[in-house]
Amino acid sequence: MTTKRVGFVGLGLMGAPMAFNLAGAGWNVTAWNRSDAAFEALPGINRAASVAALRDEDAIIFMLPDLPFIEEAAAELLESWGSSAPRPGTAVVVMSSVSPTGVQQFGELVHQASGGNAVVVDAPVSGGTAGAQSGTLAIMVGADEGPFEQLGPLFQAMGTTVRRMGPLGSGSLAKACNQLIVGTTTAALAEAAELAERSGMDVGALFEVLSGGLAGSRVLDNVGPRLAAKDYTPTGPAKFMHKDLGFVLASAAAAGSATPIASAAHDLYAELKRQGLGDQDLAVVRQAIANLGRTPVPITSNSN
């Protein structure tokens, strides 16, 4: 990148701290967000009147819930490029969890609209809001070597583990694999918590001893305390796990790979949504499992 200028679209739970870290690392960040309130907690970040106003930035990051939201937000940007092409090498960086095949199609759309001057890079992240705030995200990149090298300093301002996984779409496939592990592990921990508590065991004590053995994991360290406390205050809506596991199933079908565990988890998170729990934290899968038990357990007062 010739300058340290970047556009940023989407200042939600993940996007806001990511943009803040970019500004703290010396990047000139101009952002657009649907609501105005996000900017009050982000001093030093310039405000764009529209997504199209970001058309001359070297890179434009999108951090919105899913690809349809990105396509809708980017429509006016692509329209402006149709009238006047951007600088060669302009990068549109999709950092949301999206469909691997869908982001490839989006890449072709951007290529055509920009006269071949802009390239789409998919770079989804893992690490949750804590990783976004501390700048320690894992970033999985789908791009050719050239754009990946150009964008390296940008990614390093937001994460500590940055890997090129292959061409466009590879980052999203890596994130789908990540979500397969996180979603199923969280569900297994939730089942263990319910079994232990209904059998008279202290869940916190169980998780403490599990963390010292082979069952220990980052997922247990991160989500375990919330599962034990039945604290479902959102750090990221649980309904997105259902979406992400859908990407796993679609990718597996295309590759001819069996996914018995992903299929079961996809059904469980669909049930979670049917129970009206989708806007709460991923840990609320424990409540969904509790509700499937013989004696449904109400959400306690320290749950949200």
To 5 degrees, how large is the angle CA 2–CA 159–CA 145? 50
Q: Tokens for 15?
A: 């996007």
Residue 289: phi and psi, rounded to 5, are -70, -40
What amino acid positions are annotated as catalytic residues? 175
Q: Give the integer Cα–Cα distance in Å for 17 and 131.
A: 9
User: DSSP assignment, residue 237?
Assistant: B
Q: How crowded is residue 181: how many other Cβ atoms within 10 Å of its Cβ?
A: 15
In terms of C-beta density within 10 A (0-12 exposed, 13-18 middle, 19 or more buried), how is residue 75 classed? middle
Q: How far apart are the first and last CA of the chain?
A: 43
